[in-house]
Amino acid sequence: MCRLGDSSSFDDEYRSSRNIAISLFRRYKNAVDRGGGDNLKEFISAGVNAYALGCTDKGLRDELTDMKESGVEIEAMQAYGGNTTLKSKIISEEIDECIFWLSIIFITILCTPQPTVVRWSSTPPVSEEILRQWKGFCALIANAYYIRGMAWLPVKTLQMEQMAVMGRSEEPSVVASRMRLVFSTLEVVRPQCPRA
């Protein structure tokens, strides 16, 4: 779950773990439905805030699963100047992918030089299993970003890391999108201009 202070300066979306889960899920859907770029950065920024507030992947998954099981519909984020309100039911596969993206963001933060993002909780942000599977992947990208100033790695290198840890690798396009998520997270938490 998440630890929240009593500060009234927090937006409503950060007042409870349920509100944080809804905010993340809406931003995730926005990034998927409308494409990356600024939409992806908004999702990442919300994920960084969730990390700082002490949220865990399990706690946020539980919130979204509870809402799915109770039939709650999530209102889509509105387009600029639009008055249309769309509501949709939460689907299990979307919860899984949203939380997976969030886990990658959390692990990426763990791979940054300390203290990039201060966490308000000593509870680990992700399970040991997901950390074991993805820490090497995120660390390779973080090292390329911080040490060599790179903004891209060969997909084959990351597929070999997946093969070594999980015994299988994902399709190149999927690996490239995971890599983009990690690099985008690094740009949000510690912007830098890659060296030529």
**Percent share of the chain, pLDDT over 70:** 85
Q: Return the closest-CA partner of residue 127 out of 116, 119, 135.
A: 135
**Predicted pLDDT at 150:** 86
pLDDT at residue number 91: 84
pLDDT of 31 > 80? The answer is: yes
Q: Which of 116, 92, 102 is nearest to 58 (CA)?
A: 102
As a whole number of angstroms, the distance between CA 135 and CA 137 comes to: 5
Domain ranges of the chain: 12-189
Q: Provide the whole-model pTM.
A: 0.86
Report how far residue 112's alpha carbon sits from residue 108's, in angstroms, rounded to the nearest whole number: 7
Weakest-pLDDT range from 77-81, 112-116, 141-145: 77-81
Looking at every residue in the chain, the average pLDDT score rounds to 85
Residues with Cβ < 8 Å from 45, sequence gap 6 or more? 188
CA distance 140 to 135: 9
